[in-house]
Amino acid sequence: MPHISAAAALQICVLLSALPAQYFISQWYGTDSAQRIQITERLIIASWSSFTKSYLNLDAWADRLKLWLSKTRQGEGTKTERRKVVNTVKEEGENWYYGEKKTKIADNEAETHSYFAESTHVRSPKPEYIQFSVGQVIVHKRFGYSGVIVGWDVKANAPEEWLQHKYPPAKQDLKDTPHYRILINKANGFGKSTAYIPEEEITIIMGLEVHHPDMKAYFSGYDGSKYIMQPWLKKIYPHD
């Protein structure tokens, strides 16, 4: 049986208290005992009828139950939608930051854009100011996670929204420095699979192997100092 609300309880108390109050009044204002008895009987019958219709009637309780369930579903639905919106915003914000944003093309199929060092154009010749190479293992200077370089751009190649998010006015100069796409080592438990970061945030480390589900797609092996690129990747980065 549904829980009786405070308003319903108050209504019951009012109905029950009305009977003795009205009986008391009838004693003072009734003309004789027979009339007072008749008035009292009518009051009892009216009060009992009202009470049974409101609280002893299955249809009334069924209506209350339906109303309660309807409000509960609406409340849960609102909470669920709000959680979905929050999670979507959060997830998209994180994916923008780590270079995993996907875009919709005309046929409505999701496809990774050529941003974030994923363009297949051949990087040749390789500029001298590009310090690091595809296949080298890195450590992030601030966050401490390790990973392997799978691509680079001579400067940040990303959507304008991403650039504005990552580089506030005080860091605008970093947009024009080399950027590297990283497969993050799962052994770090960092929670993200890739990153797209400027050169100044990484340092090279040797003798460390990287564990990532996409390693074999990019590399054929590890020689102790760097990973050996697959032929398709070597064509894109012939000088690395």
pLDDT in tens, 46-61: 666 656 655 666 666 6
Which two three-digit tokens encode residue 87? 């999670």
Residue 230 half-sphere exposure, CB side, CA atoms within 13 Å?
10
Lowest mean pLDDT among 50-59, 120-129, 160-169, 174-183: 50-59
The reported pLDDT for the residue numbered 45 is 67
For residues 151 and 13, the model is more confident at: 151
Query: Stretch 133-142: mean pLDDT, rounded?
Result: 97
Any idea which of 56-65, 125-134, 139-148, 200-209 has the lowest mean pLDDT? Answer: 56-65
Q: Between these two residues, 240 and 19, which has the higher pLDDT value? A: 240
pLDDT at 34: 64
| Predicted confidence (pLDDT) per residue in 173-217, tens digit | 999 999 999 999 998 887 789 999 999 999 999 999 999 999 999
Could you tell me what percent of the chain has a pLDDT over 90?
A: 48
Lowest-pLDDT range, 10-14, 140-144, 150-154? 10-14
One-character DSSP codes across 64-108: HHHHHHHHHHHHHHHHHHHHHHHHHHHHHHHHHHHT--EEE-TTS
Q: Distance (Å, rounded) from C-alpha 136 to C-alpha 138? A: 6
So what's the pLDDT on residue 191?
78
Global pTM?
0.56
Q: In the prediction, which pLDDT does 110 show?
A: 34
Cβ contact 162:186 at 8 Å: no
